[in-house]
Chains A and B, each alone.
Chain A
């Protein structure tokens, strides 16, 4: 076989269903073929707010995970962290698209990601804290994935909007993996060496003030907050016990990310995320 033939055969058949390529990077609208009409009895403004908030959580988290790129502790972890970041980025895109369909503005995903100011973002504040060391990143991932999984499992079953329910159902598989990955690392680091134990403990402690915010109705976007709290608390206890770490507890931080309260860290994150897009109005990418 000549080289040219090899190349041609390689170039063939790369449709968007190819699992090796990231979700949502093709040319098609990811919600293509889904009935996007808002069902009767659903409060469109509230639905849009939920999609936006959950989309912001995912986008900000993906941006933080992207900061690990070329800095991960091992090459295999490089691939794993990118997978998780890509999953969350995919979730953000679907949720933004849905927000644009139901809030009456017809905005696309990029309008939400690139053209809103920090004060307009509604993500929970835990998502925007800086990357920190690998232990903090795993602590945050453990908390946020356990929480998001609990929320998505409920939305997949109970959301009145079938599109949101479908997005949540797709996310459940991804988040189950994220939680497993983070839980395994939490146990390894908690149990591993003195240094890793100290770091893992510090990482979890750092997440603690931001926990309470996750268990409010505003944060869970329609999922039962008491059920979510119960499930997440149990999951965290199980993991910290296996890791030989104390339970995660602290005075909650006042304010709420869903109401627009921000830490100092979101503005620089968004400046980096939005800089090029905003520097070229009218450009197409």
Chain B
């Protein structure tokens, strides 16, 4: 994957998916992704980037690799199972129960 140097000099922050509840009464909605070294940093970045620190909204962040995606349609002849892992961040998925609610 790397195009430069060895892995020790290239410490990349993992990808996180961000979900925002814009206001009370609404579901959390997927708004995009960002990179962060850890969960706390991901939350801080999410607040800075996707809500511009608008207080009162609720944010979930989850490591992209921890998201399990449903297949689009098991019977769908066009679905190509091997493509499952190719694109790293699915847009249609069920949100796992254990995502921390902040």
Interfacial residues, chain A to chain B (CB-CB below 8 A): 19-20, 74, 76, 79-80, 83, 173, 177, 180-181, 184, 188
Residues of B in contact with A, size category: 10 to 19
11 contacts between A and B (CB under 8 A): A19-B54, A74-B35, A76-B34, A76-B35, A76-B36, A79-B45, A79-B48, A80-B44, A80-B45, A83-B48, A184-B41
Distance between Cα atoms of A173 and B13 in the complex (Å): 28
Distance between Cα atoms of A120 and B54 in the complex (Å): 36
Q: Give, as a whole number of angstroms, the nearest-CB distance from A77 to chain B.
A: 8
Residue of A whose beta carbon sits closest to that of B35? A76
A83-B53 in contact (CB<8A): yes
B35-A83 in contact (CB<8A): no
Q: Give, as a whole number of angstroms, the nearest-CB distance from A182 to chain B.
A: 11
Contact of A76 among B48, B53, B54 (CB under 8 A): B48
Q: Give, as a whole number of angstroms, the nearest-CB distance from A141 to chain B.
A: 14
Interfacial residues, chain B to chain A (CB-CB below 8 A): 13, 34-37, 40-41, 44-45, 48-49, 51-55
Q: Give, as a whole number of angstroms, the nearest-CB distance from A18 to chain B.
A: 10
- Residues in A with CB closer than 8 Å to B54 are 19
Question: A79-B45, A180-B44 are known contacts; what are 14 more A-B pairs with Cβ within 8 Å?
Answer: A74-B35, A76-B34, A76-B35, A76-B36, A76-B48, A79-B49, A80-B44, A80-B45, A83-B53, A173-B55, A181-B44, A184-B41, A184-B44, A188-B41
